[in-house]
Structure 1
Amino acid sequence: MLGTSLDMSSAYHPQTDGQTEVTNRSLGNLLRCLVGDSIKTWDSKLPQAEFAYNHSLNRSLGYSPFQVVYGLLPRGPLDLSTLPDRTRIHGVADDFIDNIHNVHTQVVTNLESSSSKYKAIATADSQHRRVIFKPGNHVWAFLTKDRMPAHSYNKLKAKKIGHLTVLEQINDNAYRLQLPANINTSDVFNVRYLSCYAPPDPVPDSWSNPSNPGGPDATT
């Protein structure tokens, strides 16, 4: 009814889901304030941090996460000290869905506005390398430490493998590759870890243009 979709990210590339990284950082800051010196009690404070984060107004969304997902803002501890608000009674399902769709529409507008502001002051986009591969293309793939089997990582070990064939373009950022049988890792790679494969230059034949056996200073 809400028209939601699942957006998958590629393996071993958490940077794909930047919003999750921002959420984890915010929760970490909340927990740091809640636990104080009792660091080992962080798990008991997690529900409080989660509720506080979802209840707070998000600057980019213009709404709280609770409003975006559920269409309403649940009562907090401070609401217990006031008289019940009779205007918060739920309506019919159609009205409820319409309200959430209106919230989502406004959230998209707010996010686009925030994104435009961030791009205007950020320099990361100017350094972004846009590369598109097609099925059948040959590429080099870089293996990060996370893809290495346990206790097999070595700084001096070759980490670029190829040439590999692109089997499928999942999207502009993720590709499925045909990996060798000895590589036991996910076959989906982020474009950041791929580069175009170019055949190596042929090694010149030292006998194709032999020098004077007597050397450059030899006389005839």
Structure 2
Amino acid sequence: MLRCLVQEHPKQWEDVLGKAEFAFNAMPNRSTGKAPFTVVYTKAPNLVVDVIVLPKCKSSSATNFTEDYSKLLDDVRQQIIRSNQRYKAVVDAHRRPCNFQVGDLVMVRLRRERFPPGAYSKLAKRKIGPVPIVAKINDNAYRVELPSGCNTSSTFNVTDIWPYHSTYEAPITLSSSESSSSEAGED
């Protein structure tokens, strides 16, 4: 936070320390949902933009300023809402619906992050499969049955899962490696 506040004047960090502390204590915490200031003092701190806490005064210039500033804040809020709706529409246009059932055959993408350092190869296959879905964790995550050689988590986000479409018309059945080897030995 200090690096962002001092920018090109790093030796002046002491000048912005108070602002940084106030900003940190006034922002809601992700875990508690409340700002540290609110937890300690049972109310949110008064900020410059909080014109609601100003008492009704008889000065027409102060009243006009307050009304204009309140209108400006409302306009900004409405603009942010419209902007977020546009962003959502753009993202939703590229989103693909992915609903799989347990037992469906899918192809999964193995990203570089899934491998230990030095084990990833640029020339390795990007997708492996077909592999069956073993469990649905939620609409966004599925657990698949990976081959025994894969030393990575078997849980995948839907962005890394594609439905498998066979090039053959015959139904595909997966069998364990033991039954495959015993069938091959009988022939």
SS of equivalent to 2:117: coil
Shift of 1:34: 4.5
The one of 104, 129, 134 equivalent to 1:137 is 104
The one of 8, 20, 33 equivalent to 2:5 is 33
Please list the CA deviations of residues 109-139 of structure 1 after superposition, one character each: whole Å capped at 9, or x if unmatched: xxxx999645421111122111101111110
Please list the CA deviations of residues 141-185 of structure 1 after superposition, one character each: whole Å capped at 9, or x if unmatched: 000000123212222211200011111111111001111111011
In structure 2, the partner of 1:156 is 123
Shift of 1:201: 3.9
Letter in 1 for 2:5: C
Match runs of 1:107-186 below 5 Å: 117-122=82-87, 123-186=90-153
Distance 1:129 1:178 in 2: 23
Letter in 2 for 1:55: A
Distance 2:156 2:20 in 1: 34
In structure 1, the partner of 2:59 is none
Distance 2:120 2:4 in 1: 33
Distance 1:177 1:51 in 2: 47
Distance 2:102 2:144 in 1: 9
Letter in 2 for 1:31: R
In structure 2, the partner of 1:88 is none
Instruction: Tell me if structure 1 keeps the 8 A contact 2:3–2:10.
Output: no
Instruction: Tell me if structure 1 keeps the 8 A contact 2:140–2:157.
Output: yes
SS of equivalent to 2:138: coil
Instruction: Tell me if structure 2 keeps the 8 A contact 1:119–1:125.
Output: no
Mark the runs of 5 or more structure 1 residues left unpaired by the alignment.
1-26, 57-63, 80-112, 203-220
In structure 1, the partner of 2:181 is none
In structure 2, the partner of 1:188 is 155
Of structures 1 and 2, the one scoring higher in RCO (CA 8 A, sep 6+) is 1
Cα distance change of structure 1 residues 124 and 167 upon mapping to structure 2, 3 Å threshold: same
Cα distance change of structure 1 residues 188 and 51 upon mapping to structure 2, 3 Å threshold: farther
Letter in 2 for 1:162: G
Instruction: Tell me if structure 2 keeps the 8 A contact 1:55–1:73.
Output: no
Letter in 2 for 1:52: A
Please list the CA deviations of residues 70-121 of structure 1 after superposition, one character each: whole Å capped at 9, or x if unmatched: 792546xxx9xxxxxxxxxxxxxxxxxxxxxxxxxxxxxxxxx999645421
SS of equivalent to 1:166: strand
SS of equivalent to 1:192: helix
Letter in 2 for 1:185: T
Q: How much identity, in percent, do the aligned residues show?
A: 29
Distance 2:161 2:130 in 1: 11
Distance 2:33 2:121 in 1: 46
Letter in 1 for 2:99: I
Q: Could you state the TM-score of these two structures normalised by the residue count of structure 1?
A: 0.46
Q: How many residues align?
A: 126
In structure 2, the partner of 1:23 is none
In structure 1, the partner of 2:23 is 52
Give the CA RMSD over aligned residues. Answer: 3.8
